[in-house]
Chain A
């Protein structure tokens, strides 16, 4: 028998980067808000960094890849037709638990790629529309960084100074200086000083697996405590399988399984989907009905389509000066955006960023996460000794352009532990992306050699790198070519909103989370300002 709960005003699905932002913003008005999260609260002492076997946990129960982790709260993803594995985490905080919190912003040009470069589509909004929400999200999560970056527009001062770039970062920065290339200290949602009751980072390095100091901007520590104190109900172990609608196609709430596998129904006046660029289309596709035979709010036929990752290449430099490059936040050193924009002299459009990253512990070194697997046998120890603590990485983030054939569908056979259909991902790397990456690899080799690398190794395309899930419920002004409007509101139902990376029109060449959070705050502000009808 279905357990039916008292009705709420706004029901948020997912407690990560975007869901928490909406909850927090609406908690400051008098909306009644419930958030359903399929995962649970994770205690700081559970994080791998608190355990001696952290490198093993990083490969097993704390792996980035849900197909490797295979926890009950995870859902499997069919990746047979994708060269890139989608990555995510399911808990209060969502994927902000295991992100590295590198937080650059989109450029103004990223919202206008059709106008400027004749590809993809323009966004229905501008950088200026989003800018105040970027500032608000930076403040909420806690941004470390410094003004004056010549590659980006002037902006409000960050709440904290940059993280230390360390001797390895400075070595790379000097190389960029000598080449006349841009670089700037990374913006990071990692505390460089104590911030709002959370400690400063102590450079342990392993930012990718939850921070027990609370130094990383995870929504479970940065946002949820205040939202809950303001009256939001966050209900964990609640796995949504269907968004319910009435005969007019408007939502009436969502159905979910609780921890005991019981079916529940949470009625609501409005529903906000915040389950990431794969999770949201998955549940929308699983919510087909008479009103929506092809999936919820899918009159455009674009739901699940235009999936964008950031295809990552990794170019690793091996040095011989013993800088111990495992010290410091893993992927938050400096950013190079010398090649960010379209160059008419090149055979591809749009561009890429370099995210300078560090190495890690001995297991990672031996297994080759940063510089290839160390050979076994007679040369093993000398090779390990050369690599351990002596690798600096230039991660290439290329702008992925939307293509309809890259998509998320429901798998006809694969399900999660509750029997809900799992997503199946189709993704083909475009020739434009390949050319971007090739160019980036060549330039990265130049930079690493300039920095003094004695050997450089390029990984042409990282497989375990689908951190950024975008485009599968894109925004736009035309209901025929987009799923949601400029406020994240579905064209087909005015009380359904999408606020995660699904709404992205294009992907830019930077990590997406500040943009996801800013857009979520913008949608919440719209609901607060314009949608009193959703309030009881």
Chain B
């Protein structure tokens, strides 16, 4: 069970559960395994430790999961099959929606900050500057229709 005030301390067992949960949030695709199997649980834990909102959500989700009846059966969450795991998360999503949404955001933040993911989705990793993006230059011809309109601002 995670302790939580402003920092999230997970046990090794929690980390295994978190990793499994992250694999359900963002499953494997193409050549990439799920978010948990990619090893991003540590990054999520680290980020949650720095940002209170995400730390609280991580703590609440892990706590709620540990209390969820299906996950309390012998073997816990790890012993559930995928369908049961998804069902357990759906219960959390319905019962603690705000925390659950923040938790999902936490997973997305670490997942979509990863260069392996950027490569798959065709996103250029790194800072936006100094490269910026190429765009077609301004072309006044686009004004052809609207510029024919007579002035219609309200006179005072």
A residues whose Cβ falls under 8 Å from a Cβ of B: 47, 49-56, 59-60, 68, 107-109, 111-112, 115-116, 126-127, 146, 148, 150-153, 161-167, 170, 173, 176-177, 182-185, 192, 201-206, 212-213, 326-328, 341, 361-363, 365-367, 373-374, 376-378, 380-381, 384-385, 388
Contacts and interface: CB of A to CB of B under 8 A. Distances in A.
B50 to A, nearest CB: 8
B112 to A, nearest CB: 4
Contacts of B118: 362
Contact of A363 (B53, B101, B113, B137): B113
Nearest to B125: A52
B135 A49 contact: no
Interface in B96-153: 101, 104-105, 107-109, 111-113, 117-118, 121, 123, 125-138, 140, 142-143, 145-147, 149-153
Nearest to B149: A150
A192 B27 CA distance: 42
A127 B156 CA distance: 9
Contacts of B134: 203, 327
Contacts, number: 156
By Cβ-Cβ distance, the 5 closest A-B pairs, closest first, are A202-B132, A366-B108, A327-B133, A204-B128, A362-B112
B15 to A, nearest CB: 19
A377 B25 contact: yes
Nearest to B117: A362
A204 B149 CA distance: 33
Contacts of B127: 49-52, 54
B147 A341 contact: no
Contact of B138 (A148, A162, A173, A366): A162
A527 B109 CA distance: 50
A205 B145 CA distance: 28
Interface string B19-57: 000001111010000000000000000010011010000
A49 B135 CA distance: 18
A150 B86 contact: no
Contact of A165 (B108, B112, B131, B138): B138
Given A378-B27, A388-B123, 16 more contacts: A50-B127, A56-B109, A108-B156, A116-B156, A146-B140, A151-B151, A162-B138, A185-B138, A192-B138, A206-B128, A213-B129, A361-B112, A362-B118, A376-B104, A377-B24, A380-B27
Contacts of A59: 109
Given A54-B127, A204-B133, A388-B121, A373 B101 contact: yes
Interface of B: 24-27, 29, 47, 50-51, 53, 86, 89, 101, 104-105, 107-109, 111-113, 117-118, 121, 123, 125-138, 140, 142-143, 145-147, 149-156
Given A49-B127, A163-B138, A362-B121, A150 B132 contact: no
24 contacts: A49-B129, A56-B47, A56-B113, A60-B51, A108-B153, A108-B155, A109-B156, A115-B156, A126-B156, A146-B143, A150-B146, A150-B150, A164-B135, A170-B142, A173-B142, A182-B152, A192-B138, A203-B132, A203-B133, A326-B133, A362-B112, A363-B109, A373-B105, A376-B24
A11 to B, nearest CB: 36
Most buried by A among B128, B130, B135: B128
Contacts of B107: 376
A385 to B, nearest CB: 8
A184 B149 CA distance: 11
B133 A205 contact: yes
Nearest to B129: A49
Nearest to A183: B146
Contact of A202 (B131, B147, B149): B131
Contacts of A55: 109, 112-113
Contacts of A183: 146
A201 B132 CA distance: 8
Contacts of B125: 52
